Amino acid sequence: DTGVSQDPRHKITKRGQNVTFRCDPISEHNRLYWYRQTLGQGPEFLTYFQNEAQLEKSRLLSDRFSAERPKGSFSTLEIQRTEQGDSAMYLCARGGNTGELFFGEGSRLTVL
Amino acid sequence: QQPVQSPQAVILREGEDAVINCSSSKALYSVHWYRQKHGEAPVFLMILLKGGEQKGHDKISASFNEKKQQSSLYLTASQLSYSGTYFCGTELTQGGSEKLVFGKGMKLTVNP
């Protein structure tokens, strides 16, 4: 158990719809990350929070992507006007004491 | 700036050894190693911070060369449970994984 839960685990949507993923660390952790992983690739960095502040955002994120972490606890990742290229596994991770990442089980998105 | 992993895939018989390499064109602050089983999230194995460092637990160990541009993961006397995809994640600057960049992974299959 990595102490990170994600919801939903699977989401199938039609192109053009909006989707939102939620990440809940069991206890409050300063650092929280979102990564995206497509088949056969390693995780790609999307964004990073230190408490409630979003400190870095990848260029991979278009304006259709937004992430929040109100009150420094849970986080949400929203994708607006989904495209087929958005199909991927969206991974949330908390930062450990020595810099390691503890990933949640991920939310798999399929855009039809 | 994505690290280069080699080989891309290896098939072993139980009890055989494997080495996975991870190379960067720039000196790194740290190297992380993760293992991901099919359909699951990546799981942290270890982190190396110092040039010339070697560390390990059980039969999995890793090294970080003096120039901090290459790391290797050593799997000795492989077990069936070692099967999965191994990713190295690299960090260019100090800061607790604000931007961990992962390689494309090495798929390891261990057969009886």
A85-90: average pLDDT: 96
Q: How much is the pLDDT for B98? A: 64
Q: With beta carbons less than 8 A apart as the criterion, state whether A56 and B106 touch.
A: no
Contacts of B103 in chain A (CB under 8 A): 42
The strand pairing partners of A109, in sequence order, are A11, A88
Q: With beta carbons less than 8 A apart as the criterion, state whether B32 and B44 touch.
A: yes
Chain A closest-CA separation from residue B61 CA (Å): 16
Which of A29, A45, A101 is the mutation pick for testing B, counting most B CBs within 10 A?
A: A101
Closest residue by Cα to residue A36 from B48, B6, B42: B42
Which residue is closest to A54 within chain B, CA to CA? Answer: B98
Give the C-alpha separation, A85 to A82, whole Å.
Answer: 8
Asked if B99 and A105 come within 8 Å (Cβ–Cβ), the reply is no
Give the C-alpha separation, A11 to B77, whole Å.
Answer: 40
Which residue is closest to B34 within chain A, CA to CA? Answer: A101
Reported as a pLDDT band with limits 50, 70 and 90, residue B94 is low
State how beta strands A53-57 and B101-102 pair.
unpaired
Chain A closest-CA separation from residue B90 CA (Å): 11
Reported as a pLDDT band with limits 50, 70 and 90, residue A25 is confident
Closest residue by Cα to residue B35 from A100, A94, A108, A31: A100
Closest residue by Cα to residue B36 from B83, B72, B1: B83
Strands (E) located in chain A: 4-7, 10-13, 19-25, 31-37, 44-50, 53-57, 65-68, 75-79, 88-95, 101-103, 107-111
Is the pLDDT score of A68 beyond 90? yes
Q: How much is the pLDDT for A28? A: 64
Is the pLDDT score of A29 beyond 70? no
Among the ranges given (A37-41, A78-82, A83-87, B98-102), the one the predictor scored with the smallest mean pLDDT? B98-102
Q: Which of residues 12-71 of A touch B (CB under 8 A)?
A: 31, 33, 40-45, 48, 55-56
Q: Which of B32, B41, B97 sits opposite A91 (nearest CB)?
A: B41
Is the pLDDT score of B41 beyond 70? yes
Q: With beta carbons less than 8 A apart as the criterion, state whether B80 and B110 touch.
A: yes
Q: How much is the pLDDT for B57? A: 79
Give the C-alpha separation, A8 to A70, whole Å.
Answer: 19
pLDDT tens digits, one per residue of B59-77: 999 999 988 899 999 999 9
Which residue is closest to B95 within chain A, CA to CA? Answer: A99
